Amino acid sequence: MNRLTRLARTALAVGAVGLTLSGCIVESGRAEQSRSIGGTTACPVDPDPTVRGTVRIGWQEIPNGDLVVKDTGLLRTCLPNVNIVWSKFASGGDVIQAFGANSLDVGLLGSAPAAKALSAPLNIDMKVIWVQDRIGAAESLVARGDGIKTVADLRGKRIAVPFASTAHYSLLTALEKAGVTDAQVINLAPDAIRGAWNGGQIDATYIWEPTLSQLKGTVLTDSAKVAEQGAPTYDLEGARSDFVRDNPAFLKVWSAAQGWAANLLNTDPNKAAEHIAGQLGVPVDQVLTQIKGYAYFDAKTQAGPDHLGGQLGADIRRTAEFLLQQGQVQGVGPAQHYTDGVYAAGAQGAAG
């Protein structure tokens, strides 16, 4: 185990680590959570009234199609007899805990948490059902003050990041590539990072939007550059395997709604930004700046060989191999295990 790994595993948090699962459930349709009661945005496919029951969906404050779907109330329009329960989570680490506790059906998590969930010792029975975005400059390593200009300058510094997140994976990659082995890596949730930053308790952080835009400092690297170093990261949608098995009709319509949102982000970013801004409570101009740091994919692209239809399983396994080197997982399964952890049928059905 290298020194960086020991520090990462033994560092003490200086604030709240994240949301607990209790108390974070928010019922869909409440005015403070969705500005639409459905019906104003047409369903991109024929609505399916035969699908019934309650579906628990976990979301995060990340500007992608999930928030567009949520804000428009599109799932209520497309699936009028389904009760959608939205739950807000601070990070993908919290989402995989909820999957393990059987308290969530579908949820947003990064490619690093997905790799961790599919690997030992967690071995969570889940599947990746959608690529919400490929992360670029929207996740960055930023330093406070004027004395830190490069990643190599982080030797001996205190760096905050939500553990088991894509940012954590990218941070460890960047530090390894720069030869930094003695940084103190601290586990903090985004809200706690803001407080620690303002209080001068940390020297740097690797974090995503919208927290990133709220911090004034020097950007040392970002996830687009880390991807060029061989470590691409994604925001993914995952689901428990039993839910996927039992609900193909729901997932086909859900995928069509997400595909519509991805198309809106790519073809009418101003309109998409209005919906995202409504959910995040920030100005539209700020959202427009944020979404430039991501790439979004429609259903046809999702179903293709570069994503759910092929390459994604291999990308997740490579992430797991890196996490194994860093002591973040205890074992990596065979390639087929990660291929089997990807569900493409929903995207394929939505693509037509």
pLDDT of residue 321: 92
Domain boundaries, the chain: 53-134+233-351, 139-229
pLDDT of residue 175: 97
* Confidence at 35, pLDDT banded by 50, 70, 90: low
Which residues of 76-175 form beta strands (DSSP E)?
A: 82-88, 106-110, 126-135, 139-143, 158-161
Q: How many residues does the chain have?
A: 352
For the entire predicted model, the pTM comes to 0.81
**What amino acid is encoded at 145 in this protein?**
G
- Partnered with residue 57 across adjacent β-strands are 86, 106
Buried-state track 145-171, b at ≥16 Cβ within 10 A, e below 16: eeebeebebbeebbbbbbbbbbbbbbb
340-68-41 Cα angle (round to 5): 115
Buried-state track 92-104, b at ≥16 Cβ within 10 A, e below 16: bbbbbbbbbeeeb
> Maximum CA pair distance of the chain?
61
pLDDT of residue 5: 36
- The string of pLDDT tens digits covering residues 233-266 is 999 999 999 999 999 999 999 999 999 999 999 9
- The string of pLDDT tens digits covering residues 258-298 is 999 999 999 999 999 999 999 999 999 999 999 999 999 99
In CATH terms, the superfamily for domain 53-134+233-351 is Periplasmic binding protein-like II (3.40.190.10)
> What totals of helices (H) and strands (E) does the chain contain, helices first?
16, 12
Count of Cβ atoms closer than 10 Å to residue 313 Cβ: 21
Tokens, residue 169:
């994976």
- The string of pLDDT tens digits covering residues 157-205 is 999 999 878 899 899 999 999 999 999 999 999 999 999 999 999 999 9
CA distances from 33 to 59, 85, 111, 185, 280 (A): 11, 11, 26, 34, 10
Virtual torsion, Cα 114, 120, 123, 127, nearest 10 deg: 30
- The string of pLDDT tens digits covering residues 109-166 is 999 999 999 999 999 999 999 999 999 999 999 999 888 999 999 999 999 999 878 8
Closest CA to 160 of 197, 179, 199, 187: 187
* Confidence at 223, pLDDT banded by 50, 70, 90: very high
Mean pLDDT of 81-102: 94
Closest CA to 183 of 2, 1, 8, 318: 8
Domain 53-134+233-351 and domain 139-229 have a common topology = yes
Statement: 139-229 belongs to CATH 3.40.190.10: yes
